[in-house]
Amino acid sequence: ETAVFQTPNYHVTQVGNEVSFNCKQTLGHDTMYWYKQDSKKLLKIMFSYNNKQLIVNETVPRRFSPQSSDKAHLNLRIKSVEPEDSAVYLCASSFTGGAREQYFGPGTRLTVL
């Protein structure tokens, strides 16, 4: 099956803990993204990454960092979670170049207590 896979589906943690979310795509794409979707369904780009360039949304706090081992994987690490980090984190991928649609994973819902 070719798709974008995310683990875990849900994660509950306490303030100050470190968390890491995994994303893998089997579509052969060369660009991957992380988006944050808040409780009002608002979607905001956090990172986009291909093997040449990482682009970080300037509004993303420094406790967030993407981690990539190859072009099929882009994980998201949060060093010390805060209550406002509670959200759904969506991973996506696409080909680079032209008007390319993005393919999304099912999301990881993070709850920070």
Partner 1 sequence: TQTVSQSDAHVTVFEGDSVELRCNYSYGGSIYLSWYIQHHGRGLQFLLKYYSGNPVVQGVNGFEAEFSKSDSSFHLRKASVHWSDSAVYFCAVSSYQGGRALIFGTGTTVSVSP
Nearer to partner 1, 57 or 68 (CB): 57
Closest distance between partner 1 and the C-beta of residue 100, in Å? Answer: 7
Nearer to partner 1, 15 or 100 (CB): 100
Measured distance CA(76)–CA(96) in Å, rounded? 21
Beta strands in 1-113 (DSSP E): 4-7, 10-13, 19-25, 31-37, 43-50, 54-56, 64-67, 75-78, 87-94, 103-104, 108-112
CA distances from 58 to 27, 46, 51 (A): 28, 8, 20
Residues with Cβ within 8 Å of residue 75, at least 6 apart in sequence: 20, 21, 22, 23, 66, 67, 68
Closest distance between partner 1 and the C-beta of residue 65, in Å? Answer: 16
Nearer to partner 1, 15 or 54 (CB): 54
Binding site for partner 1 (CB under 8 A): 4, 31, 33, 35, 40-45, 48-50, 53, 55, 57, 90, 92, 94, 96, 98-107
Nearer to partner 1, 17 or 96 (CB): 96
Closest distance between partner 1 and the C-beta of residue 16, in Å? Answer: 28
Closest distance between partner 1 and the C-beta of residue 80, in Å? Answer: 25
